[in-house]
Amino acid sequence: MYSHIKHIFFDLDHTLWDFETNSREALSDMFSKHELEEKCNTTFCEWIDVYEAINHQYWNLYSTRGITKEELRYRRFYDAFLHFKYDDLELSKHWAEEYLQISPYKTNLMPGAMEVLDYLKPRYTLHLITNGFKEVQNIKIDKSRLRAYFHTILISEEHGVSKPEPEIFRLAETLSGASTGECLMIGDNHDMDINGAKGANWKAIHLNVAGNNEEKPGTVQISELKELLRML
Ligand SMILES: [Mg+2]
């Protein structure tokens, strides 16, 4: 099935870099430091559930260009504070900055990430395609020691196109010198990574950890990265 594949393109967040663990670590540090338990009259566990739901909605809005990067960065905190009846726009804007400074330095990777990359590197040419902010993504890639694995790294913000737009996959082919039939995309987001890749006539494997997303007919799915060791 993958005999023609020469180039493997990974998504970064939630696929290699354990976004959830890293984000929670950073926010937990900030929650204690700013005494939010008293201000919001809640525990970190309760607050983070609310925040993550709000954050997810804002990212969807951002991907359809319904909100700017700057608005997303502080409004997710403002709304999550307000949910607990704590109204503090100034602190929200401060958190927007502090979170961006702290979280990219966290280095938890998804289970099996290094083992899989070590296995694939001598066998394929590896690349990254990520829909993130360039200053943040570059810190993550360096601090978690991922950069050396990748021949090209494409960060959407640097090029003004993002997944799932076909243009970003065509650009990835150009930058990597790959032809369409040689490309395989591996990512956690079905709409962005998988539908995007398929729309560009690439092969795709959906990392669906713990069945977070429903199974989609016609999509190859894995529940952990280590499954790639016997597929590729
Ligand atoms: Mg992702």
Question: What pLDDT is attached to residue 132?
Answer: 83
Mean per-residue pLDDT, 12-29: 96
State how far the Cα of 195 lies from the Cα of 201, in Å rounded to an integer: 10
Phi, psi of 93 (to 5 degrees): -70, -35
Question: What pLDDT is attached to residue 86?
Answer: 98
Mean per-residue pLDDT, 114-134: 96
Does some domain include residue 42? yes
Question: What pLDDT is attached to residue 216?
Answer: 79
CATH of the domain at 44: 1.10.150.240
Residue 119 and residue 181 in one domain = yes
Mean per-residue pLDDT, 96-115: 96
Residue 149 and residue 126 in one domain = yes
Residue 74 and residue 119 in one domain = no
Question: What pLDDT is attached to residue 212?
Answer: 63
Residue 126 and residue 14 in one domain = yes
Residue 150 and residue 213 in one domain = yes
Residue 176 and residue 222 in one domain = yes
Whether the pLDDT of residue 122 is over 90: the answer is yes
CA of 121 to the centre of ligand 1 (A): 20
**Domain span at 25:** 19-105
CA of 85 to the centre of ligand 1 (A): 31
Whether the pLDDT of residue 145 is over 70: the answer is yes
Does some domain include residue 69? yes
Q: Are 210 and 223 in contact (CB under 8 A)?
A: yes
State how far the Cα of 203 lies from the Cα of 173, in Å rounded to an integer: 13
CA of 38 to the centre of ligand 1 (A): 33
CATH of the domain at 180: 3.40.50.1000
Does some domain include residue 135? yes
CA of 14 to the centre of ligand 1 (A): 5
CA of 12 to the centre of ligand 1 (A): 6
Whether the pLDDT of residue 103 is over 80: the answer is yes
Query: What global pTM score does this model have?
Result: 0.84
Residue 130 and residue 222 in one domain = yes
Mean per-residue pLDDT, 68-79: 95
- Show which of 45, 77, 105 is a domain's final residue: 105
Does some domain include residue 142? yes
Helices (H) and strands (E) in the chain, counts: 10, 6
Residues 6+ apart with CB under 8 A from 212: 188
- Average pLDDT score, the chain: 95
Question: What pLDDT is attached to residue 211?
Answer: 66
Question: What pLDDT is attached to residue 1?
Answer: 84
Residue 118 and residue 215 in one domain = yes
Residue 208 and residue 119 in one domain = yes
Does some domain include residue 2? no
- Show which of 72, 105, 138 is a domain's final residue: 105
Domains held by the chain: number: 2
CA of 199 to the centre of ligand 1 (A): 17
More confident residue, 29 or 135: 29
Mean per-residue pLDDT, 57-64: 91
Residue 124 and residue 193 in one domain = yes
pLDDT (tens digit, 9 = 90+) per residue, 156-200? 999 999 999 999 999 999 999 999 999 999 999 999 999 999 999
State how far the Cα of 115 lies from the Cα of 161, in Å rounded to an integer: 31
Whether the pLDDT of residue 209 is over 80: the answer is yes
Mean per-residue pLDDT, 59-67: 89
Q: Which residues place a Cβ less than 5 A from the ion ligand 1?
A: 11, 13-14, 188-189
CA of 133 to the centre of ligand 1 (A): 13
Whether the pLDDT of residue 100 is over 90: the answer is no
